[in-house]
Amino acid sequence: MTEMYDVAVIGLGPVGAALCNLLAQSGLRVVAFDAFDGPYSLPRATHLDGEALRILQNAGVSETLEPSLGIYTRMRFVNAQGDLLLDWPRSVEEGWQGWRDSNRFHQPALETALRENAQRHANLDLHLGQRVEDLSQDRDGVTILTRSPAQQSQTFRARYVVGCDGARSTVRAVMGVELQVLDKPEQWLVVDLIINGAAPALPEGTIQYCDPARPITYIEAVGARRRWEVMLIPGDDASRFAEPGHVWSLLAPWVSPGDAEIERAVVYTFNSAVAERWRRGRMLLAGDAAHQTPPFLGQGLCAGLRDAANLGWKLAWVVKGLADERLLDTYPSEMKPHVTAFIVEANRIGAIIQERDPEMARQRDEALRTGPQLLKSVRPSLGPGLTRSEIGPAASLSAQPRLKDGRRLDDLAPYGFILLCEPGFSAEAPPRTRDLWRQAGLTVVEGEGADWLESLGAKAVIIRPDRYILGVANDLVQLEAITSQIPLRLKDALCD
| Close Cβ partners of 227 (under 8 Å, ≥ 6 residues apart) | 43, 46, 190, 191, 192, 193, 217, 218, 219, 221
Average pLDDT over residues 6-25: 98
Q: Which among 65, 73, 130, 138 has a CA at the least distance from the CA of 102?
A: 73
Fold of 409-493: Glutaredoxin (3.40.30)
In this predicted structure, the answer to whether residue 491 has a pLDDT above a threshold of 70 is no
What pLDDT does 494 receive? 40
- Integer Cα distance of 102 and 396 in angstroms: 19
CATH code of 4-68+104-182+272-342, in short, is 3.50.50.60
In this predicted structure, the answer to whether residue 1 has a pLDDT above a threshold of 90 is no
What pLDDT does 490 receive? 66
Domain residues of the chain, as ranges? 4-68+104-182+272-342, 186-270, 409-493
* Tens digit of each residue's pLDDT (9 = 90 or more) over 49-90: 999 999 999 999 999 999 999 998 999 999 999 999 999 888
Q: Is 371 exposed, middle or buried, given 0-12, 13-18 or 19+ CB atoms closer than 10 A?
A: exposed
Q: Lay out the sheet containing 70-71: strands in order across.
A: 47-49, 102-104, 70-71
What pLDDT does 496 receive? 35
Q: N- to C-terminal Cα distance for the chain?
A: 44
Tell me whether domains 186-270 and 409-493 share a fold: no
Average pLDDT over residues 117-122: 96
Fold of 186-270: D-Amino Acid Oxidase; Chain A, domain 2 (3.30.9)
User: Strand, helix or coil at 256?
Assistant: coil
